[in-house]
Homo-oligomer: A and B are copies of this chain.
Amino acid sequence: MRDVGIGLIGSGFMGKAHALAFAAAATTFDLPIRPRYVVLADIDSAMASAAAARLGFARSTGDWRTLVADPAVELVDITAPNALHEEMALAAIAAGKHVYCEKPLAATAAAAERMARAARSAGRITQVGFNYLKNPIIALARSIIAKGEIGDVVGFRGIHAEGYMADPATPWSWRHDPAGGGGAIADLGSHIIAMARFLVGPIAALTAQMSTVVKRRPVARGSAETRPVAVDDQAQLLVRFASGATGTIEASWIAPGRTMQLAFEITGTQGSLAFTQERFNELQLYRAGGPAGRQGFTTITAGPEHDPYGAFCPAPGHQLGFNDLKTIEVRDLLLAIGGAGAGGPDFHEGWQIQRVVDAAILSARERRWIEID
């Protein structure tokens, strides 16, 4: 077994989630590679120091460049705001590091492309944090499709809706700035686009509409001063996949009451699948051709047959949680670094997802279909 030195940038919620995931991956799985917690960077060096102590990192720094330059760091893990992803990742790649980056990969497809190309040129392992793809029940869905159990996929109906921006009193933030690459379509839409690509393949064309429902937001909670919101609150897309399948994709962050409606229905010629992240240990499967009067959707509950559920629990139905998906993501990354797996989604995939986001924004502006080669 060999160690891989981790340099973690960011000590907020996602930084903590990553640190926990590295520890959990090492304990949960029997891996050929072991994380070593080398250095933690945060713009606030006091916070960096405190977080390093709590999360078990050997050193801390207030300057991420120090972290990137650290020879003991083999993997740079970026949980900083989106706008910083490109600079950090390019520097890390240039320093010969592998890079793990939270989603969305970048504010624009152009930036994502630069990151993907740099990583490929340098031969570095990369991974983007689309952790919902790591769900064993999603792996099952993909396997069901790949084995032809529902025939050919002809339809996809996907959405990611939450309600965290529904309240107009929620203040303006960097998420409302188009420099960040889009609103709901980037923040949530990227998840359902990633899911669509993972399950049905590349999107060849789309047309979209977007709307900004809360047109101005206070600069701070309770403030009378407001700033305009220049990104979408809701986005709706018609999509055509390269396979010929057609469908819809939607994103909303103003859906009251929705907390995790990352959901899809897939129509095949011989069956159907339905899923929602609200109950992400379950998959609904319908297969044509069963006995008359006994047909219907079957609720499959995640269990040890659905790898790698069994590493977490030997009994079915006990349920994985959000952080367990992150743990699987980290396992895949460590396996890829150890040469024992494909990892992914990597920067190339992150770029392709961002291309769909960018095309949707363009389509909505120009009110026309956009082809994506």
Contacts and interface: CB of A to CB of B under 8 A. Distances in A.
Contact of A313 (B238, B267, B296, B322): B322
A183 to B, nearest CB: 14
A257 interface: yes
A257 to B, nearest CB: 3
A207 to B, nearest CB: 6
B236 A246 contact: yes
Given A250-B157, A306-B293, A255 B236 contact: no
Given A23-B23, A255-B155, A299 B301 contact: no
Nearest to A306: B293
B238 A255 contact: no
Interface string A276-288: 0011100001111
A259 interface: yes
Contacts of A286: 256-257
A168, A256, A260: most-surrounded residue (chain B CB, <10 A)? A256
A314 interface: yes
Contacts of A300: 293-296
Interface residues of A, number: 91
Interface stretch (A110-118, A194-202, A208-216, A222-230): A208-216
B155 A259 contact: no
Interface stretch (A38-46, A71-79, A82-90, A159-167): A159-167
A89 to B, nearest CB: 24
B267 A256 contact: yes
A320 B236 CA distance: 30
Contacts of A66: none
B321 A320 contact: yes
A280 B140 contact: no
A278 B13 CA distance: 28
A254, A267, A268: most-surrounded residue (chain B CB, <10 A)? A267
Given A236-B238, A298-B299, A312-B321, 11 more contacts: A19-B27, A20-B24, A23-B23, A161-B267, A162-B315, A207-B238, A207-B367, A234-B246, A236-B248, A259-B317, A318-B322
Interface of A: 13, 16-17, 19-20, 23-24, 27-28, 30, 54-56, 140, 150, 154-155, 157, 159, 161-162, 164, 166-168, 207-209, 211, 213, 234, 236-238, 240, 244, 246-248, 250, 252, 254-260, 265, 267-272, 278-280, 285-288, 292-301, 303, 305-306, 312-324, 367-369
27 contacts: A13-B313, A13-B314, A17-B313, A27-B55, A154-B211, A154-B213, A161-B267, A164-B315, A166-B288, A168-B269, A207-B207, A207-B209, A207-B238, A213-B269, A234-B267, A236-B246, A257-B288, A259-B317, A285-B296, A292-B305, A298-B299, A312-B321, A319-B319, A321-B321, A321-B322, A323-B324, A368-B368
